[in-house]
Structure 1
Amino acid sequence: MIPFSLHEIAPVLNAKYIGMDLIIHAITINSNIIYKQCMFIALIGKRFDGHDFTSQAIAAGAQALLVNHHVLLDVPQLIVPDTRCALIMLAHWVRQKVSAKVIAITGSSGKTSVKEMTTSILKECGHTIATQGNFNNMVGVPITLLRLTKQNNFAIIELGSSCPGELAQLSKIVAANVALVNNVYPAHLSGFKSLSKIGKEKGKIFSELDLNGTGIINADSHALSVWRKPLKGKSMWFFSLRTSVGIDFFASNIIAEKNRTRFILHTPYGTAPVVLSMLGTHNVANALAASALAFSVGANLSEVVYGLKNIKTLPGRLFPIVLGEGKLLLDDTYNSNVGSMISAIHVLTTMPGYRILVVSDMLELGKHKSIKYHCYIGKLIATTNINKILTIGSVSCCISKICGKGKHFRSKNKLILYIKKMLSIHNSISVLVKGSRGFKMEQIIDAIRDGSKCYFG
């Protein structure tokens, strides 16, 4: 973070300043996580009020407070009308102070994978920071920007959006030099109502690009024309799994192996073989996106290839777990939407042995479209070589019914017992567990991997 004095930052935040001047070297929004010479920002949420924890933060070592009303503590305080707005203003101030190339990434799926791939590449090129965890919202993005220093060469920022208008606000804060829309699939439909509205929202990431910025576009997306408009007069690079006229980054000779994927990377700067320690053609597409982002800020071909080679599979994202000889468990429990479900299905079809797909409901698809998309997934599975589909949840039963090879469960306990039975019966078997965060499907992974006898309802 760039250090600042309270006296210096008060007018930037339109804040009333009380107490002695201090130099602040870090900020925190969690009273349990206190840094040296830090300021505690008292955010207010639906179920909490940071002002209730100001005493705890000061007792733990925080030196100053950013609050929306004066608190009865003898410490320096910046008083603002809205601490969330002040956090954003502070992040914007830091963004203007640094010369780092800033990359913004959004999309319905694959955002984190692309972020991790791009980070792995750019670490070979200079000092790089990136979004940690799922800090991709109106709080997480400003906090990520506040980690920037004048020594940083690159910042890779993941942007999420669950309702209209969020992405435009986040893009304005980030003021990216390069921006990517990785893809658009039905996700957060409860907030957006339609796929076209999701595509339009994602395109807002290009509206606040630097004048000399570059937009990276998935040429396989139906929202292509929508995304071109805000990029008029700016540089554009296109990526696709298929080669055709106008495609800048594409892949050929894609070979799926048990724990990795090989392909030939084609770029405007040459071609090279790539070994990716991640499964699925969707991750090849993610690698193409990451390559385009990295090239756009100065990486060369050898740095891109090396960075992709060294990326590690992320837990919860098609993470392979070998249970024994011929027995493979794939952990894809981080989250679930239509796009990532299709990708998971395609990966499982390439796995050896008896193939079992375990899924929960896909959440946030909207009340009226949820059944439609679950039925679509059921029909898709019916056409594949997947041997068994096991479902849990109130809507996922549509999948098991329609595919013709499904079994529905009402409890994780019985589901886990059934999976263990199948693992004991088949000498060669691949089990992929996929689910939305709300279903905590990682509990199934833990019970199977660790041989736990403590099951769940």
Structure 2
Amino acid sequence: MIPFSLHEIAPILNAKHIGVDVVIHAISINSNIIYTQCMFIALVGKRFDGHNFIIQAVASGVQALLVSRHVLLDIPQLIVPDTHCALITLACWVRRQISAKVIAITGSSGKTSVKEMTASILMGCGHVMATQGNFNNTIGVPITLLRLTKQNNFAIVELGSSRPGEIAQLSRIVAADVALVNNIFPSHLSGFGSLANIGIEKGKVFSGLDVNGKGIINADSHALSLWRKTLHGKSTWFFSLCTCVGVDFFASNIVVKKHGTQFILHSPYGTASVFLSMLGRHNIANALAASALALSVGADLSAVVFGLESIKMLPGRLFPIILGKGKLLLDDTYNSNVGSMISAIQVLTTMPGYRLLVVSDMLELGRHKTIKYHCYIGKFIATTNINKIITVGSVSYFISKMCGRGEHFSSKNDLIIYIKQILFLHESISILVKGSRGCKMEQIINAIQDG
């Protein structure tokens, strides 16, 4: 973080400064996590009020407060009308202080994988700061930017959205040099209403680019017609898994191996052979996107290859767990939507032995479209070589019903017992477990591992 004094930052935040001047080296919004020379920001949400935790923060050693009302404590305070707005203003001020190349990543799925791949590439080119965890919303993105220092050469910022308007706001805060829309799939439909609205929202990431900025676009899953106005006059690169015609980045000679995928990367800077230790064709697409992002901010092709080949499989994202000889468990429990579900199914079809798919509900698809998309997934599974589908939840029932070889459970405990029986019956078996974050499917992973 770039240090600042309260006296220096008060006029920038339009804040009233009470108490002595101190220099701040860190910020926190969690009273349980207080750093040295830290300012606690009392955010106010629908279900919480940070002002209620100020005494705890002070007891933990916080040096100053950013609040929306005066607190009767002997501690330096900056008082503002809205602490969330002040957090954003502070992040924008930090962004203006740094010269690092800033990358913005959004899309319906794969954002974290692309972020990790891009970071792995750029680590060989300079000092990298990247989004941690799921800090990709209107609170997380400003906090991510506040981690920037003048020593950073690159910043990789993930932008998420669950309702219209959020990406445009975040893109203005980030002011990226290059921006990616990784793909467009049905997700968060309860907030957007339609796939077209998702496309419009994600395309707002390009609105934060300046005239010299570059847009990176998935030619296989885009809404370019919706983005032409935003992209007017800006440089663009396209990537594709399905075609090499009219695109800047594509893959050829794809060979699926037991522990990853070999392919030839084609780019405007030449070709290179890459072994990616991640499963699924969708991760090749993610690698193409990461290559485009990294090359656009100064990496060379050798750095791209080294970075991609250094990346490891991410927990919860098709992470392989060996249960015994011939028995493979794939942990894909991080999250689920239509696009990532299809990608996971395609991976399972390439796995050896008896193929068992265990899935829960896909959440946030909207009240009127949830059943439709679960039925669609069931019909898609029916065209594959997957031997058995087990579902748990409520609307996931329609996946079992439509696939023709499914069984639905209302209890995770009963489902776990059934999985263990199937494991015992098959010498060679591949099990893939997937579900939306709120369904806590990692509980099944843990139970199977524990035996």
For this structure pair, what is the TM-score category when the shorter chain's length is used for normalisation? over 0.9
* Contact 2:255–2:263 (Cα < 8 Å) also in 1: yes
Paired position in structure 2 for 1:112: 112
**2:227 aligned with 1:262, yes or no?**
no
- 1: distance between equivalents of 2:204 and 2:132? 23
- Alignment-derived partner of residue 158 in structure 2: 158
**What is the match of residue 242 of structure 2?**
242
SS at match of 2:273: strand
Matches within 5 A, 1:96-175: 96-175=96-175
Following the alignment from structure 2 to structure 1, what is the Cα–Cα distance between the partners of residues 67 and 81? Answer: 8
- 1:316 corresponds in structure 2 to 316
Partner of 2:281: 281
Q: Is the 8 A contact 1:409 1:415 kept in 2?
A: yes
Question: Aligned AA for 1:14?
Answer: N
Question: What is the CA deviation profile of residues 281-323 of structure 1, one whole-angstrom value per residue up to 9, with x for unaligned ones?
Answer: 0000000000000000000001000000011111100000000
Number of corresponding residues: 451
Give runs of aligned pairs for residues 411-426 of structure 1, distance below 5 A: 411-426=411-426
Determine the C-alpha separation between the residues in 2 that align with 1:390 and 1:242.
31
Q: What is the CA–CA distance in structure 1 between the aligned matches of 2:369 and 2:245, rounded to whole Å?
A: 36
One-letter amino acid of the counterpart of residue 339, structure 1: G
Distance 1:181 1:144 in 2: 19
Tell me the amino acid that sits aligned with residue 387 of structure 2. Answer: N
Q: Which residue of 1 aligns with 2:65?
A: 65
**Distance in 2 separating the partners of 1:185 and 1:28:** 34
1:454 maps to: none
Question: Does residue 349 of the first structure (1) align with residue 388 of the second (2)?
Answer: no
Shift of 1:222: 4.2
- Contact 1:179-1:206 within 8 A present in 2 as well: yes
Q: Distance in 2 between matches of 1:46 and 1:450?
A: 39
Residues 20-39 of structure 1: CA distance to partner in whole angstroms, max 9, x if unpaired?
11111111111111111110
Query: TM-score, normalising length from structure 2?
Result: 0.99
Q: Secondary structure at the match of 1:9?
A: helix
CA distance in 2, matches of 1:402, 1:378: 5
* Cα deviation 1:356-385 (Å, max 9, x = unaligned): 000001000001100100000000000000
Distance in structure 2 (CA, Å) of the matches to 1:2 and 1:79: 21
Q: Secondary structure at the match of 1:307?
A: helix
- Give the CA deviation at 1:48: 1.3
> Corresponding residue for 1:41?
41
Q: Is the counterpart of residue 82 in structure 1 residue 82 in structure 2?
A: yes
Please name the residue that 1:216 is paired with: 216
Q: Residue 128 of structure 2 aligns to which amino acid in structure 1?
A: T
> What's the Cα RMSD here?
0.7
Residue identity matched to 1:332: D
CA distance in 2, matches of 1:369, 1:258: 37
Cα shift readout 1:378-422 (whole Å, capped 9, x = no counterpart): 000000000000001111111101111000001000100111111
Identity of aligned residues (%): 78
1:455 corresponds to which residue?
A: none
Moved more, 40-49 or 169-178: 40-49
Pairing 1:384-403 to 2, within 5 Å after superposition: 384-403=384-403
User: 1:251, 1:364 → 2: CA distance?
Assistant: 33
Query: Which whole-Å deviations, capped at 9, do the CAs of 1:172-194 have from their partners, x for residues lacking one?
Result: 00000000000000000000000
Partner residue in 2 for 1:91: 91
CA contact (8 A) 1:136 1:159 kept: yes
- 1:100 and 1:35 map into 2 onto residues whose CA distance is 25
Contact kept? 1:43, 1:49, Cα under 8 Å: yes
Secondary structure (helix, strand or coil) at the match of 1:421 reads: helix
Tell me which residue corresponds to 1:196: 196
CA deviation after TM superposition for structure 1 residue 242, in Å: 2.7
Higher mean C-alpha deviation, range 240-249 or range 382-391: 240-249
- The alpha-carbon distance between structure 1 residues 222 and 37, as it changes in their structure 2 partners (threshold 3 A), is closer
Structure-1-length-normalised TM-score: 0.98
Amino acid at match of 1:69: R
Provide the rounded CA distance (Å) in 2 between the counterparts of 1:229 and 1:352. Answer: 47
Residue equivalent to 2:378: 378
Measured after TM superposition, the shift of residue 228 of structure 1 is: 3.2
Is residue 183–residue 222 contact of structure 2 (8 Å, CA) maintained in 1? no
What secondary structure, in the 3-state scheme, does the structure 2 residue paired with 1:207 have? helix
CA contact (8 A) 1:239 1:289 kept: yes
* Other-structure match for 2:447: 447
Kindly provide the CA deviation profile for residues 210-264 of structure 1, in whole angstroms up to 9, marking residues without a partner as x: 2211000001124122233311111100000133332000001111112211111
Match of 1:186 in 2: 186
Secondary structure of the 1:93 match is helix
Contact 1:218 1:224 in 2 (8 A): no
Q: Is the CA contact 2:28–2:38 (under 8 Å) kept in the aligned structure 1?
A: yes
Q: Secondary structure at the match of 2:274?
A: strand
- Pairing of 1:303-342 with structure 2 (within 5 A): 303-342=303-342
Q: Distance in 2 between matches of 1:222 and 1:102?
A: 22
SS at match of 2:62: coil
Give the distance between the partners of 2:251 and 2:73, measured in 1 at CA. 60
Given residue 228 of structure 1, which amino acid in structure 2 is its aligned partner?
R
Consecutive aligned runs of 4 or more in structure 1 exceeding 3 Å deviation:
none
In structure 2, what is the Cα distance between the partners aligned to 1:368 and 1:12? 46
Give CA deviations for 1:72-125 in whole Å, capped at 9, x if unaligned. Answer: 110100000000000000000000000000000000000000000000000010
CA distance in 2, matches of 1:416, 1:254: 36
Give the drift of 1:349: 0.2
Q: Distance in 2 between matches of 1:130 and 1:222?
A: 25
1:14 aligns to 2:17 (yes or no) = no
Structure 1 residue runs without a partner (length 5+) = 452-457
Tell me if structure 2 keeps the 8 A contact 1:106–1:159: yes
Q: Give the residue type in structure 2 aligned to 1:274.
A: V
Counterpart of 1:361 in structure 2 is 361
CA distances 1:193-221 after superposition (whole Å, capped 9, x unpaired): 00000000000000110221100000112
Q: How far apart in 1 are the matches of 2:147 and 2:15?
A: 22
Query: Distance between the aligned counterparts of 2:364 and 2:170, measured in 1?
Result: 21
C-alpha distance in structure 1 between counterparts of 2:382 and 2:179, whole Å? 37
Q: What is the distance in 2 between the residues matched to 1:49 and 1:258?
A: 50
